[in-house]
Amino acid sequence: MANMAVSRIKREFKEVIKSEEIVQCSIKIELVNDSWTELRGEIAGPPDTPYEGGKFLLEIKVPETYPFNPPKVRFITKIWHPNISSVTGAICLDILKDNWAAAMTLRTVLLSLQALLAAAEPDDPQDAVVASQYKHNYSLFLMTARHWTNAYAGGPSRFADCDQKIQRLKDMGIDEHKARAVLSMENWDLEKATESLFS
C-alpha cells in the first residue's frame, strides 16, 4: 500500500513540475526528505485578494493510504483567513476531509487552497475570531490579512499604524507574533489587547 502512495506521489511530482502553474510560479512542490511522504508546498497569494504578493508555505504529509485518504495539509506561513487557523495553520477545506476523492492530486489540492484564499467561507470557519471579523468588519479583516501577508509571506502592503501598535506591545516585553495576533483578534484596539495580554 505504501508502495502505491509513493509511486503515485512520484508521478504527481513529475506532473506538477511540468504543469503550467509552475511556469507561472503560482504553485510549487518540494521534497522534504527522501521518504516521499513529507513534502513542502508553496502557493502564491491570488491576485485581487489581501494575500496578493505573498508566498505561503504548506506542510504536506502523505498518509500510507494515499490516495484513498487525503494528504494532511497545514499552512506553515501564518495567515489571517476565516478557514485557516491563525494559530496552528490547520485548514478547513472539505476536500481535505470528508469530500476527498481518490482522483485528486497534490496539484489540485494546492489549486483548491489557492481558490480558498480567494473565496473564504466564513460560515464554515476554522478560526472563529477571523470569521467573525470577516463578517462584521470586513475592511478591518482586509487590512489585517494584508498586514499578515506583509509580515509573514512577503506581501507588499505595509500599515504604519499596525506596526506602531505592535511596537508598543513589543516595548512592553511581548513577543512580536503574539502582539500581532492579539491585536488582530481585538480589532487593533491597543487597550483591549493590552488588557487581554495582562489580565
Partner 1 sequence: MTVKVKLPQLLLVVVWIFWCWYFRGHFRKMASIVAAANNDDRVHLICRFYTRGMCRFGNLCRFIHPDPSQPTAAGVDGGSQPASNRLHDSHTAAATTSAQTDPKKWVLAPVFVPKNQQRISIEPGSSSSNDNCKDEASASSTTYAAVVVGPGGTVVQSDVSSEETTTTCPYQFNCPYGDMCTYEHNQMCEMCGRYSLHPTDKEQRKSHIALCIQQHEKDMELSFAIARSKDKTCGICFEIIMEKSGREQRFGILPNCNHIFCLECIRKWRQAKQFDNKIIRACPECRIPSDYVCPSAFWVETKDEKEKLITDYKKALGEKDCKYFKKGEGKCPFGNKCFYKHALPGGERVDVGVPKRNKRKIQRADDEILDLFDLYLWDFVDRREFHWLEILSNFTDSGDSDWSEDFE
Contacts of 178 (CB under 8 A, 6+ apart): 197
DSSP string, 73-133: EEESS---BTTB-TTT-BB--GGGTTT--TT--HHHHHHHHHHHHHS--TTS-SSHHHHHH
Of 4 and 31, the one with the shorter C-beta distance to partner 1 is 4
98 binds partner 1 (CB under 8 A): yes
User: Which among 44, 79, 92, 193 is annotated as catalytic?
Assistant: 92
Binding mask 106-135 for partner 1 (x = CB under 8 A): ------------------------------
In order of 108, 140, 147, 152, the CA distances from 183 in angstroms are: 34, 12, 12, 16
Residues 51 to 90: which contact partner 1 by CB under 8 A?
67-69
- Reduce the DSSP state of residue 182 to 3 states and report it: helix
Among 23, 101, 119, 160, interactor with partner 1 by CB under 8 A: 101
Q: Establish whether 25 is a catalytic residue.
A: no
Residue 68 beta carbon to partner 1: minimum distance, rounded to whole angstroms = 5
Question: Which residues make up the interface to partner 1 (CB under 8 A)?
Answer: 4, 7-8, 11-12, 67-69, 98-104
Q: Which residues are catalytic?
A: 92
